Structure 1
Amino acid sequence: MAGIANYVSESYNELKNHVTWPTWAEAQRLTIVVVVFSIIFALLIWGVDTVFSGVIEQYFEWIKS
């Protein structure tokens, strides 16, 4: 149990004294960058999925014939 308490204490000390936190403006800017790239990536995956679905559908129609 002492090991867990020591871990929590050292983690708190690390976060308080050794981590450089971003400014509020920088955090907002980086959040916007992440949101924009997430949307772009989601649209790209949706497009690839749509194309592959069409290709697979055509393949099975071709096999049926």
Structure 2
Amino acid sequence: MNKVRTYLGDSYKELVEKVSWPTWEQLQQSTVIVLGATLVITAIVALMDFVANGALKFIYSIFKS
């Protein structure tokens, strides 16, 4: 039990004294960057899915007839 108490105490001390937390402005800027990157990657994956779907439908239509 003493090891757990020591671990929790050390973890708390590290979070309070040693970690440098971002400012509110930095946090907002990082959030906007992540959201923008997520939207771009989502659009790229959707486009790839659309193209692959069209290509496979075309290939299937060739062999269906």
Q: How far, CA to CA, are the matches of 1:41 and 1:62 in structure 2?
A: 32
| Cα-Cα RMSD | 1.4
Q: How far, CA to CA, are the matches of 1:41 and 1:7 in structure 2?
A: 40
Task: State TM-score, norm by structure 2.
Answer: 0.85
The 1:63/1:16 distance shift into structure 2, 3 A limit, reads same
Structure 2 unaligned segments of length 5 or more: list them: none
CA displacement at 1:7 relative to structure 2: 3.1
For these two proteins, the number of residue pairs brought into alignment is 65
Structure 1 unaligned segments of length 5 or more: list them: none
Task: State TM-score, norm by structure 1.
Answer: 0.85
Runs of 4+ deviating beyond 6 Å: none
Q: How far, CA to CA, are the matches of 2:62 and 2:29 in structure 1?
A: 50
Deviations 1:12-42 (A, max 9, x none): 2221111100111111011001001100110
